[in-house]
Amino acid sequence: MGDRPEKDDNELAAEFLAGDLESFREFYRRYVSEVLAVCQKILQNRQDAEDVVSDVFFELWTKRSRFDPTRATPKNYLLMLTRSRSIDRYRKRSRANSRKALHAIATNAESAVAVSQGNPAVQILQSESQQLAIQALEQLNDEQRRMLELTYFESLSHAQIAERLDIPLGTVKSHIRRGILKLRAVLDERKVGTANS
Partner 1 sequence: MNCQTFTEWLETVAAEGPNLELPRELHQHQVDCQSCRAELERWQATWNLLPAALAHEPPSTDLENRIFERLQRSSPPARTASSRLSSMFHDKSKRMAYLSYAVAAGILFLLATTTLWGPNWLFPQTGKDAQELARLQDFADHVEKLDQLESAFADPQIRYVSLTSLGTQEQTQGYLLYDDVAHQGHFYGFDLPTQANRIVKLWLLDRSQSVLSSAIVEIDSKGLGAAIIPLPKDLSVLDEIVVSFENDPGAQTPSLRVRMRSKVALTRP
Residue 101 near residue 44, CB atoms below 8 Å: yes
Number of residues in contact with partner 1 under rule CB under 8 A: 73
Closer CB to partner 1, residue 4 or residue 36?
36
Selected binder of partner 1 within 12, 13, 23, 37 (CB under 8 A): 37
Choose, by CB under 8 A, the member of 101, 105, 106, 132 that binds partner 1.
Answer: 132
CB-nearer residue toward partner 1: 12 or 57: 57
17 forms part of the interface with partner 1 (CB under 8 A)? yes
The answer to the question of residue 52 lying near partner 1 (CB under 8 A) is no
Residue 50 to residue 132: CA distance in whole angstroms: 26
H helices, E strands: number in the chain? 11, 0
According to the binding rule CB under 8 A, does residue 20 interact with partner 1? no
Check residue 34 for interaction with partner 1 (CB under 8 A). Answer: yes
169 binds partner 1 (CB under 8 A): no
CA distance 102 to 171: 22
Min dist. Cβ of residue 3 to partner 1 (A) = 25
| Cα–Cα distance for residue pair 34/129, rounded to 1 Å | 11
DSSP state of 138: T
* By the rule CB under 8 A, 167 interacts with partner 1: no
CB 27 within 8 A of CB 10: no
Asked if 154 and 42 count as a contact pair (C-beta separation under 8 A), the reply is yes
- Identity at 52, one-letter amino acid code: V
**Part of the chain binding partner 1 (CB under 8 A), chosen from 1-9, 101-109, 169-177:** 169-177
CB of 8 to partner 1, least distance (A): 13
